[in-house]
Chains A and B, each alone.
Chain A
Amino acid sequence: MKKMVYLTTGLMVTASSAMAAGHCAAGLTLEEGQLTIATGNPAYYPWVLDDDPESGEGFEAAVAYAIAGEMGFADEDVVWVRSSFDEAIQPGAKNFDFNMQQYSITPERDEVVDFSLPYYTAPMAVLVSPGAVDTEPTLEALKTLKWGAVGTTTAVPKLENVIQPENDPLLYGDNADVNAAMSANQIDAALFDLPTALFLSAVMIEGSAVIGQFASDESDNPDQFGLLMEDGNPLKACVDEAITSLTESGELAAIEAQWLQDATGVPVIE
């Protein structure tokens, strides 16, 4: 009898909060009735505006709230926490339901953590310093530049395997350090995902330019961003369902159009 009461009240609660896509997340989140999402510290533009994910402004912040909505969470039920990459992949319990900070899905990472379906496909783009803006967007010309990249990203294997620069690249801890190095003229070019590269060139480094992008459908590891979850997290099915529905309804594309600059003007590197 008691069980029955619990069950009915439980059903009522989920039914009232889960208007959209049912209640596939019930009982599977860290805190019942709340969705805990991790982002970077700091979270960078254009993924999150002003390092303030609670505002829902910026591509990833907007996608996060859209996914939460699909999963049946109201905006106020979304809780944000900050995490580094290392915290995300360390063994043991996590302090987030999913982690969203431009994680490229790779088979190696997938063995240790779980990824959702991709929510964005990010072509890699070449940002060059003011002194190198006249470089032709060809692999031949790119090889001769002095390269930099963030050492924790998939830009590193791309550099090593595709561009194969003549000089050893310099690697940094985060975007800000790559900026500093480019401003100090220690590197000519850096490899970022396209939205980040466009932002850096427009706002952060005066006179720099994005001279080319790699086709995002290239056979070697197209860079797709996924939500990172603890290995074996049962919430994955629910998250994937939400992303599928957002993709099919065109809402994901609409969010992308709203927050990410149109990048069709950037030539593709042959």
Chain B
Amino acid sequence: MKDGNAAAGLTRRQRYEAAQRKRSILIAAASTLLVGLAIFILVPLTPGWDRVKRSFFDIDTLVETFPRLLDAFTINVMIFLWSAPAIAILGLLIALARDTRSPALFPLRIFGAAFTDVFRGIPVILTVYLIGFGIPGLGLPRPWNSPYIWGSLALILTYSAYVAEIFRSGIDSVHHSQRSAALSLGLTERQVTRYVVLPQAIRNVVPAQMNMLIALQKDVSLLSFIGPVEIFRQAGVFKSLLANFTPYVGAAIIFLMVTIPATRYADYLMAKQRQERR
């Protein structure tokens, strides 16, 4: 309820609430300030601070290495850009495979279940190693043995297993009465899935899938183990040559520049969805 008549002044209740709000803002500001001061004053007082600062927060090293790190980050972006759509497509296909109802398609269901079990169960880095070195080791000619191809495939397989599960939860979230209603209107199974279930299912899981994108964005760095000189490896090279961990901090900053806006956007989508459901 809004108070339409501003000229009439605030009611006692509103005045009280405003005072309470002001009070809580002040308390929040004061405690934040205190914590901030404690960190800024106490941490530099610790005996090892000078050495930690030199090893992790050396401005000169940061300035010197940042452009190369940014350059290497383009490789991360590239791998991300071609992996993400492939993951979305494969994930959806696996989810649909697990969701088939016809008895004749039972093998497809088994396959879907086995796929998600296996690839969700193995650490990404192991999959990257096994596929990234293993398949090219079979004797593929160049350029088909490139670590970019097989490393990306490892990411795609692992992530589509997760993404498939999220899609499946989305499909389950569509009430089965909708399916029955659509069938009673004379739509075929295929049409029901295509026009009734999937549009709602996908909408429902968009925020959850955003989180997968953010995770993928970071896990692209695991490809560095099989050769590509992306940002994590480049930072590691600088770390070894300069005996200083600051390049890692630089890499973290670059990651945050991408992931913080993405996380905020995912939060926004989730909040919006909550509002719509209310």
Contacts and interface: CB of A to CB of B under 8 A. Distances in A.
Interface in B134-180: 136-137, 139-140, 142, 145-147
Contact of A184 (B137, B233, B237): B137
A237 B54 CA distance: 25
8 contacts: A89-B55, A106-B241, A108-B243, A112-B244, A152-B237, A156-B237, A156-B241, A168-B229
Nearest to A131: B142
A169 B72 CA distance: 13
Interface of B: 48, 51-52, 54-56, 133, 136-137, 139-140, 142, 145-147, 224-229, 233, 236-237, 239-245
B263 to A, nearest CB: 28
Contacts of A177: 133, 225-226
A151 B235 CA distance: 10
B242 A186 contact: no
A91 interface: yes
Contacts of A109: 241-243
Q: Do most interface residues of chain B lie in helix, strand or loop, or is the interface mixed?
A: helix
Which 6 residue pairs spanning A and B have beta carbons closest together? Answer: A170-B227, A91-B51, A184-B136, A152-B240, A109-B243, A112-B243
B225 A173 contact: yes
A91 B244 CA distance: 9
A112 B241 contact: no
A90 interface: yes
A111 B94 CA distance: 54
A108 B241 contact: yes
Given A148-B227, A151-B233, A171-B233, A186 B240 contact: no
A185 B143 CA distance: 10
Contacts of A169: 229
Given A113-B243, A186-B145, A172 B227 contact: yes
Given A148-B227, A181-B226, 10 more contacts: A85-B240, A89-B239, A92-B51, A153-B240, A156-B240, A172-B226, A181-B147, A184-B145, A186-B146, A186-B227
A241 B239 CA distance: 30
A151 B242 contact: no
Nearest to A174: B225
Nearest to B137: A184
B55 A111 contact: no
A171 B229 CA distance: 6
A155 to B, nearest CB: 10
B229 A186 contact: no
A91 B54 contact: yes
A10 interface: no
B225 A171 contact: no
A168 B234 CA distance: 12
Nearest to A111: B243
A156 B233 CA distance: 12
Interface residues of A, number: 34
A172 B129 CA distance: 12
Contacts of A154: 241
A184 B241 contact: no
Contact of A185 (B51, B142, B242, B244): B142
A146 B224 CA distance: 17
Nearest to B56: A91
A112 B233 CA distance: 21
A186 B228 CA distance: 11
Contacts of A14: none
A161 to B, nearest CB: 12
Interface string A170-214: 111100010011011111000000000000000000000000000
A183 B132 CA distance: 12
A157 interface: yes
Contacts of A172: 225-227
A148 B136 CA distance: 16
A42 B33 CA distance: 48
B146 A152 contact: no
Interface centre among B137, B237, B245 (most CB of A within 10 A): B237
Interface in A129-160: 146, 148, 151-154, 156-157
A108 B242 contact: yes
A256 B240 CA distance: 26
A5 to B, nearest CB: 35
A162 B242 CA distance: 19
Nearest to A185: B145
